[in-house]
Structure 1
Amino acid sequence: MKLSDLITPVALIDVKRMQQNIDRMQSQTNRLGVAFRPHVKTSKCVEVTQAQVQAGARGITVSTLKEAEQFFDAGVHDILYAVGIAGNKLPQAAALLSKGCDLKILTDSVPSAQAIVDFANAKGLVFKVLIEIDTDDHRSGIKPDAASLLNVAKVLADGGMAIHGVMTHAGSSYDLNTPESLANMAEQERSGCVHAAERLRAAGFACPVVSVGSTPTALAARSLDGVTEVRAGVYVFFDLVMHNVGVCDIEDIALSVLTTVIGHQEEKGWAIVDAGWMAMSRDRGTQKQTTDYGYGQVCDESGNALKGYVISGANQEHGIISRAGEPDLDIVKRFPVGTQLRVLPNHACATGAQFPEYQALAATGAVTTWSRFYGW
């Protein structure tokens, strides 16, 4: 297929850009001397993940057990489910273990750890468990110095579980936008997680894995002493939020939505396209950043950004393209009905989730369909 053959809107992957992003992250983690375990929740796509593995990734990270099932069926065995486990999901996790999946699960509390132990002991299983560490007050996890860290470890160890290690995610790095602040956050993430591991080891618990990561901190880290693996996800496509954070150029963004101009409001300087929030998602992550891209940055059909033109408004199936500042009263001539455009997303994970498949655009111009996973 060619782009002109596609019924818009579609999620479009620029394969050349994607591969450059994969190579960049793999080179960074190789330089820092750590294993790289990509977070595949961004793409939820076998072909994308295969490219990451071929570049040198060791195992994957998932955000749902459905992803774990799908990727295991596709031949990936080393999987970290990086969301705190709830008791009702343990049978699903156990089923993966029984099939031979090398699944690791996550906890950050005594009740959760006890639920893991009780279920596993009743079933005659041993789970590999990582303890989540909170290094930035962003979300979940145990503070590196908290007494509960050792309490959780004791419950797991006394219950016969394998304490596989500790992991953290510096999600607050998304709020930063300078090289120095990102490097400082990367060091905060590293040192906090390493400290938690050292406390566990000093108390007599095994802690072979020290896992850290977010796309900004992975790219900004200057040293990862004491860390064994890095996780990052959105880097594979990048997006406008990451551009505002400062870790990629507009030209690095590999995911876009191909859309078609379907009408105009000439006196307002609007072009109407068939990509509304059902295609772009409602994520307005750039709204609180230095540059607000509305629902997405508009590009020409070849992927070249058209400065100042964004999707400034969106309904379910309609997007409004306008120019920042003075309205473009030549909008009808600039973007005639039928014009195909690409729109770069605020948040690649959210935009990708709107589509059941991607259209992978090769450098030759050929387009191939790649399926995408859904569900929990």
Structure 2
Amino acid sequence: MAHNVARLRARLSRFDVTLRPHLKTGKSVDVARAVMASPAGPATVSTLKEAARFAEAGVRDIIYAVGITPDKLGRVLDLRSGGVDLAVVLDTVEQAEAVAAASREAGVRIPALIEIDCDGHRSGILPTDVEKLTAIGQILATDAELRGVLTHAGGSYAARGVAALVACAEEERRAVVDAATILRTADLACPVVSVGSTPTAHYAADLTGVTEVRAGVFVFFDLVMAGIGVCEVDDIALSVMATVIGFQREKGWILTDAGWMAMSRDRGTAKQAVDQGYGVVCDLAGRPYLNLIVADANQEHGIIAVRPGSGGVLPDLAIGDRVRILPNHACSTGA
């Protein structure tokens, strides 16, 4: 883990940006303190429960990076009243109006970032939508606080090869910089220009105009990241320890007590060149067995088998033996 953190810090040191790590991956105060620039942050979270937990541990600079809804604004105000600079994210006029109304009622300005759609992956405003960007910006600037713009290059998870990853990073950068320019042209302040994904953080060639980089899975890495080419399998710093509980020898199965409740149901590698099932099986020292994967999973049972077509053989394991399983997606397994 320490190597992974140092690697990204070293890479970003060549740019004039701040690393704002996403704490949803580790969900741990100790891990958070290892990745943040200081015990006070900055940090990113995916739930208000995470925000509250890390606030209790002294984190004071937090972005709640999931679209805000009116029913959550009371909790946001509570956290802010406790000394946490908690900012929210939105991409609609309706959300902006709700944030503005809550700010007026409370007599404090809630900071918000406008989410930008850089690659069609999920939510956000297109960086060319001048009308919507300025409408939201004006609402926030009047009664709340326009903190800036933010995007996530989720499409980078489908990229293959260095050139494609570099292109994703530039597409991500260009989108938020263009959006920030639109806001500033309309005389709206845009101090924060935030990008974020582990693949683009490791392959960005230019971050001109960007103020901060958000990334989360880099701290542990996982099989999806290895499949993209962002890391090696040996870099993966998170595993699930499982115990052998049975066999179906005629089927070539070893059964363990780590099913999808332990591993998660994320099958992110299924669309990659090498399908790793529900995870790669290793010995207790973390050394992968050759072509051995969790081929299938039930709620509490994992089915270990040799990768189809590999010609591999099952290891000689006994009831009670333990193995480590590397996950497809560290964030969901860690949760």
- TM-score, with normalisation over the residues of structure 2? 0.96
AA partner of residue 164 (structure 1): R
Question: Alignment partner for residue 157 of structure 1, among 141, 146, 149?
Answer: 141
* Whole-angstrom distance in 1 between the partners of 2:310 and 2:108: 64
Question: Alignment partner for residue 321 of structure 1, among 296, 304, 314?
Answer: 304
Per-residue Cα deviation, 1:52-92 (whole angstroms, up to 9, x for no partner): 12589950000111111110100110001111111000000
AA partner of residue 347 (structure 1): H
Cα distance 1:305–1:55, how it changes in 2: closer, same or farther (>3 A)? farther
- Say whether residues 1:292 and 2:286 are aligned partners: no
Q: Please show how residues 85-100 of structure 1 align to structure 2 within 5 Å.
A: 85-100=68-83
Question: Alignment partner for residue 113 of structure 2, among 115, 130, 141?
Answer: 130
* Whole-angstrom distance in 2 between the partners of 1:326 and 1:194: 48
Question: Alignment partner for residue 197 of structure 1, among 180, 192, 207?
Answer: 180
Aligned to 1:62: 45
Cα distance 1:262–1:327, how it changes in 2: closer, same or farther (>3 A)? farther
Aligned to 1:166: 149
AA partner of residue 136 (structure 2): V
Using CA pairs under 8 Å that are at least 6 residues apart, name the structure with larger relative contact order, 1 or 2.
1
AA partner of residue 344 (structure 1): L
Q: Is the 8 A contact 1:270 1:328 kept in 2?
A: no
* Whole-angstrom distance in 2 between the partners of 1:123 and 1:351: 38
Helix, strand or coil: the match of 2:32? helix
Q: Please show how residues 2-151 of structure 1 align to structure 2 within 5 Å.
A: 18-53=1-36, 58-146=41-129, 147-151=131-135
Q: Which moved more, 1:65-74 or 1:322-331?
A: 322-331
Question: Alignment partner for residue 321 of structure 2, among 339, 360, 369?
Answer: 339
* Whole-angstrom distance in 1 between the partners of 2:176 and 2:312: 55
Instruction: List runs of 5+ in structure 2 lacking aligned partners.
Output: none
* Whole-angstrom distance in 2 between the partners of 1:32 and 1:46: 27
- TM-score, with normalisation over the residues of structure 1? 0.86
AA partner of residue 262 (structure 2): A
Q: Quick one: percent identity of the two aligned structures?
A: 51
Cα distance 1:27–1:352, how it changes in 2: closer, same or farther (>3 A)? same
AA partner of residue 348 (structure 1): A
Instruction: List runs of 5+ in structure 1 lacking aligned partners.
Output: 1-17, 354-376
Per-residue Cα deviation, 1:214-254 (whole angstroms, up to 9, x for no partner): 00000010110000000001111111111111101000011
- Say whether residues 1:349 and 2:324 are aligned partners: no
AA partner of residue 192 (structure 1): A
Deviation at 1:327, TM superposition (A): 8.8
Aligned to 1:373: none
Aligned to 1:228: 211
Helix, strand or coil: the match of 1:32? coil
Deviation at 1:328, TM superposition (A): 7.9
Cα distance 1:228–1:249, how it changes in 2: closer, same or farther (>3 A)? same
Deviation at 1:278, TM superposition (A): 1.2
* Whole-angstrom distance in 2 between the partners of 1:62 and 1:277: 24
* Whole-angstrom distance in 1 between the partners of 2:146 and 2:312: 64
Q: Is the 8 A contact 1:35 1:228 kept in 2?
A: yes
- Say whether residues 1:312 and 2:295 are aligned partners: yes
* Whole-angstrom distance in 2 between the partners of 1:58 and 1:125: 22
* Whole-angstrom distance in 1 between the partners of 2:40 and 2:201: 14
Deviation at 1:126, TM superposition (A): 0.6
Helix, strand or coil: the match of 2:291? strand
Cα distance 1:55–1:223, how it changes in 2: closer, same or farther (>3 A)? farther
* Whole-angstrom distance in 2 between the partners of 1:126 and 1:349: 32
Deviation at 1:33, TM superposition (A): 2.2
Number of residue pairs matched by the alignment:
334
Deviation at 1:316, TM superposition (A): 1.5
